[in-house]
Amino acid sequence: MKTDIKSTLENYIFVLPAVVIFSVFYIIPFIAVFMLGFYEWDGILALKDAMFIGLANFKEIFFQDPSWWQAMWNATYITLIALTLQNIVAFLLAWACDREIRCKNFYRVVFFIPPVLSEMVVGMAWRFIINDVDGANLVNRMLISIGLPQLVHSWLSDPKTALTTVAVVHCWKGFGWGFLIFLAGLQTIPRELYEAARVDGANAWHSFKNITIPMMLPVIVLVAILTVLGTMQAFVLIIGLVGGELAGHTSVPVLRILASMRGSSRFGYACAQGISFGMVLVIISFIQYRFSKHTRQA
Amino acid sequence: MFVNRILCILLLIFNMFGCAPREETGKVTLTLWHWMTDREQAFSELAKRYEEKTGVKVNFELFAPSDAYTQKVRAAAQGTNLPDIFGILGEKRDFGSFIKAGHILDLTPYMEEGEGTWKNKFFAKALAVNEFSPENSYGVKPGIYGAPIDIMTIQMLYNKNLLKQLGLDPRKPPLTFQELLDIGKKVKEAKIQGLVSGWGELWMIDCLANNYAFNIMGKDKVLATIRGEVAYTDPDWIKVLTLFKQMQDSGILATGVVTMVNKTAEQLFANDKAVFAFNGSWCVNVYRGMNPNLDYAVMLPPQASDEHLMSIWGGAGSSFMVNARSKNKEEAVKFLEWLTDRDQQAYLAEATQNLPANKDCLGKISEVLAHFASGMDIATHPSVWGVSEFPVVIETWNKGIQAIIIKDKSPEQVAAETQKVKERELAKRKK
Amino acid sequence: MKTGAYYKIKKIAINTLIHLFLISVAITCLYPLLWMISSSLKTQETIFRDISLFPHQFHFENYVLAWQEGGFGRNFLNSIIYTTSVVVGIVIVSSLAAYAFSRLTFPGRNVLFIMFMAAMMIPIPGSFVALYLLLNKLHLRNTPVGYILCMINVGLSTSIFLLKTFFDKMPKELEDAARIDGCSKLGIWRHVALPLAKPVLAVVVVFNALNVWNEYVLALIIFDSRNFMPLQVALQTFQGEFITRYPLLMAGLTITALPIIIVYLLMQKYIVKGVTQGAVVG
């Protein structure tokens, strides 16, 4: 009995530092922000002068704020593109670099350059690449040179294409992370499994389907969850590329929250938006987690 | 090995812990927070001069960009850690909140002293931005709460070379709105860009729309609309919105003008890529840096109506306030008096190509700047109207104009949407 | 019957395709980097006029200017100290916690883990003011320790999540063997779990290093004195309210990107094949 209690206490010590830091620096601010969601406060007056308004902020978000839901939809759209385009490319690249090919190290370094660059630079550089008025118009020129002049477009100014263009640039910036994590995951698959499969007569596609994918499943889920969380919260890139929300077409939740905080000085409302946003993310992530557990058990 | 490394790092940290700047006892030190990166050098020079003159040390602390500066000031206000002197960015309403929360020293007694010696040094309109009039709608005790250190106006600019290229007389820029639209066709044919402005930033759209609103219906009706007495669906307001539609249709607006931040617009105009720009007097310094040979001049936005005068936005550019809880209030006020005095203002104006707030030193400024300054006569600013529109309404309005420009919505739609949001906000306040 | 030649050609074709794919992606990755560097070598006047990647004149002095005016001496050192402390802190704290969540049992384990996960999913924009006031009360505002603790918290949840996923996949046989040998729990963590998790630890290091290195808003709000500011805050001085000195900004950003690339180069060596080779006791 004594050793049991001692053992349990020892186990607690492992998580103690994390829990302490977490409680102080996350839980306390979280409670503050959560409570502020129920108040009308401009962020400047003394806190004691904030006005309690109950669920009014939340009611407004859910029923009277179409710009919020447009922002959510835009973020979802970008995230869907990220989940597919970004992660498939990342996986393929990681798989390619896992094999024995030349210049492997070169690629591993180059693919990580996009995440390293600051978002400001990425926005400016890609605006330069894509835009015709204040840039070099490279994309359109390339399209013309490969014989597709009818596809020439004002990619960033046209409301129909602006969001997709932003999404693609975002994928470009983000795939380096997926690449890295997938690569790490691929490295931990024991080589013997592949050897054994080859001896048994399996070809490349077979071993990919029956060894790589199942062993990588937890990593794939991990990357998917991280992708959703990261992409839904993106916003700096949008300002760099299209200067703002383009009448709502490139609006995203974080930009809306910042607008509430700074533009309209409605700190309480911004907190309510933040909490609503968080709830949505939690729901999405848990659905992902449950889904992955299901497929693993199958 | 691991542990050693950690210990080394901890030692380094505690080393830094103990390196907090120490204050010299007996000597007064003022701390001033600002966001004006472009003036940092000029400010250090001024701080040096002041210390030589009075022995008071002034620490100019820069926190940029202005968004982050705003957050820092608000956080410090909550924690009552504000410095002796600082500036406030944002709307008049926010300024009012700072005052109501007790952070800002009322400068009226100092301004009125000696029959208003300090007060009379300034352009009246520059001071008006920092002033709260009796019966103001913000619930603030009337008075002057800040000292302006420069003024600015926002007008249109045109590139003389490009006008010549289009076959027009560079000495005769367009005076009426229709003339501007006609140039649009020429611009399209010549395949150059027409008007650039930072319309990715909503407030710039607001400025021009407001200018034309004053021109079309006059100040009184605009203020009545803000007070809720006139609807945004009024034909005059729809006329304002239609102007933007006309501009877009005529081709005078640059491609992607609603995706530009102001800096992008400035870069385009500076590099001879656009015929017109809509920008503020600070642009003179920017253009000088990117293209000293740029041949350009200032003009008012072309009139759309003869009923009322054209108006532009202008007033105080940046201002400084004194922390009401500062331990060095008197010294801080004295410093601001010195800073806004003629010699210092002249120095700042020359060093940073800005317009001084002090009336007596418009002496040696460039022709372009002088032209900007002359606009002060017809300048106005939301901060001096005594009423503010609801931010949500302004946002809907500006986003609506963006939508008109990208051909997403019609002027009538935008007017209806704006009015709906306005009515919702009014209903909330009634409760 | 498929001849040997067929297989050989097939292999070359596949390899070529793979290389084409890799190279085209690599080019898109390199272009913005080259744009940044070439912009840093131009002048304020030519930076937007000259759209070629190769500047007509190479203005290397931009780097010297950026270094001096950007306060790269002190602020650079600050950034290095903050980043190193936070990374070391997170590696220790999160690996301990992740190991416990993965391999140890104690009441409330699942609840605590879910809390950390929820924190990852519920970002709190606007938490800056709350953190500011909190640090104020703790007398840790305007101190490096306060900033470091805040930043440790920022990366904690994701790091724990990453590490737990990998710890879950670890073969249990090694741990059992170590325990039979008389190793304590801490010993197992230190001698078995950590070495096996090197690839993931490398990812955690890079991830957090990047976050701390690029952070500036929290630093700007918490710190009052210039001496404590990290590099990113100093860089902002090139982004003026009205005038952005682009060449200096680009030079500053290039210098800023270098240490992170170095960290990545060092760490990616750990993401190598065969880390678990031979580790599975047959």
Q: Domain residues of chain B, as ranges? A: 27-150+317-367, 154-312+389-430
Q: A265 vs B260: CB contact, 8 Å cut-off?
A: no
Mean per-residue pLDDT, B285-308 = 91
Q: How far is CA C174 from the centre of its chain?
A: 30
Q: B9 vs C88: CB contact, 8 Å cut-off?
A: yes
pLDDT class of A296 with cuts at 50, 70, 90: low
pLDDT class of B326 with cuts at 50, 70, 90: very high
By Cβ distance, the residue of A158, A162, A264 closest to B391 is: A264
- pLDDT above 80 for B251: yes
Q: A21 and chain C: CB distance < 8 Å anywhere?
A: yes
Q: Which CATH class is domain B154-312+389-430?
A: alpha beta
Those residues with Cβ within 8 angstroms of residue A90's Cβ, 6 or more apart along the chain or in another chain: A175, A176, A177, A178, A179, A182, A223
- Give the whole-angstrom CA distance, residue B288 versus residue B20: 40
ipTM surpassing 0.90, yes or no? no
The residue among B333, B380, B392 whose CA lies nearest residue B118 is B333
Residue B414 class from Cβ within 10 Å (0-12 exposed, 13-18 middle, 19+ buried)?
buried
Omega within 30 of 0 (cis) for the link into B65: yes
Give pLDDT, residue C209. 93
Residue B182 class from Cβ within 10 Å (0-12 exposed, 13-18 middle, 19+ buried)?
middle
Mean per-residue pLDDT, B97-113 = 93
CA distance A158 to chain C (A): 23
Q: What percent of chain B has pLDDT over 90?
A: 64
CA distance A11 to chain C (A): 6
pLDDT class of C272 with cuts at 50, 70, 90: low
At residue B76's C-alpha, the angle toward residues B75 and B82, to 5°, is 155
- pLDDT above 50 for B279: yes
* Helices C72-103, C61-69: inter-axial angle, 10-degree rounding: 80
Q: What is the pTM of this model?
A: 0.86
Q: Which H or E element spans position B298?
A: strand B296-299
* CB < 8 Å to C242, chain B: 38, 282-283, 285-286
How many residues does this entry show for chain C?
282
CA distance B178 to chain C (A): 32
Residue B423 class from Cβ within 10 Å (0-12 exposed, 13-18 middle, 19+ buried)?
middle
CA distance B36 to chain C (A): 6
The residue among A220, A261, C226, C52 whose CA lies nearest residue B90 is A261
- pLDDT above 80 for A294: no
Q: Which H or E element spans position B152?
A: strand B151-159
- Give the whole-angstrom CA distance, residue B351 versus residue B362: 14
Those residues with Cβ within 8 angstroms of residue B73's Cβ, 6 or more apart along the chain or in another chain: B33, B82, B86, B88, B89
Rg (chain A; Cα; Å): 24
Q: Which two tokens stand for residue A217?
A: 């499943």
Q: C16 and chain B: CB distance < 8 Å anywhere?
A: no
- Give me the amino acid identity at C102: S
Looking at the domain B27-150+317-367, which fold is it? Answer: D-Maltodextrin-Binding Protein; domain 2 (3.40.190)
- pLDDT above 50 for A30: yes
By Cβ distance, the residue of A44, A131, A245 closest to B256 is: A131
CA distance C271 to chain B (A): 21
Q: How far is CA B431 from the centre of its chain?
A: 34
Q: Which two tokens stand for residue A30?
A: 């979280």
- pLDDT above 90 for A139: no
Mean per-residue pLDDT, B92-117 = 92
Q: Quote the DSSP letter at residue A49.
A: G
CATH second-level architecture of C71-238? Answer: Orthogonal Bundle (1.10)
Buried-state track C242-280, b at ≥16 Cβ within 10 A, e below 16: bbbbbbbbbbbbbbbbebbeebbeebbebbeeebbeebe
Q: How far is CA A268 from the centre of its chain?
A: 26
Cα-flanking dihedrals φ and ψ of residue A17, to 5°?
-55, -45
Q: Domain residues of chain A, as ranges? A: 65-297
Give pLDDT, residue A297. 60
Q: A136 and chain B: CB distance < 8 Å anywhere?
A: no
Q: B391 vs A265: CB contact, 8 Å cut-off?
A: yes
Give pLDDT, residue B17. 47
Give pLDDT, residue C267. 85
Q: Which two tokens stand for residue A139?
A: 């994309």
CATH second-level architecture of A65-297? Answer: Orthogonal Bundle (1.10)
DSSP annotation string for chain C: ---HHHHHHHHHHHHHHHHHHHHHHHHHHHHHHHHHHHHHTS-TTTTTT--SSS-SS--THHHHHHHHHTTHHHHHHHHHHHHHHHHHHHHHHHHHHHHHHHH---TTHHHHHHHHHHHHH---TTHHHHHHHHHHHTT-TTSHHHHHHHHHHHHHHHHHHHHHHHHHHS-HHHHHHHHHTT--HHHHIIIIIHHHTHHHHHHHHHHHHHHHHH--HHHHHH--SGGG--HHHHHGGGB-SS-B-HHHHHHHHHHHHHHHHHHHHHHHTTS-TTTTTTTS--
Rg (chain B; Cα; Å): 24
Give pLDDT, residue C278. 32
- pLDDT above 70 for A1: no
Q: Domain residues of chain C, as ranges? A: 4-61, 71-238
- pLDDT above 70 for C232: yes
Q: Which two tokens stand for residue B90?
A: 């944002």
Q: Are A274 and A210 in contact (CB under 8 A)?
A: no
* CB < 8 Å to C102, chain A: none
- Asked, colleague to colleague, whether B27-150+317-367 and B154-312+389-430 share their fold, the answer is yes
Give pLDDT, residue B33. 95
- pLDDT above 90 for C7: no
Q: C44 and chain B: CB distance < 8 Å anywhere?
A: yes
- pLDDT above 70 for A217: yes
Q: B200 vs A242: CB contact, 8 Å cut-off?
A: yes
- pLDDT per residue as tens digits for the range A145-170: 888 877 788 888 888 889 999 999 99
The residue among B276, B271, B230 whose CA lies nearest residue B250 is B276
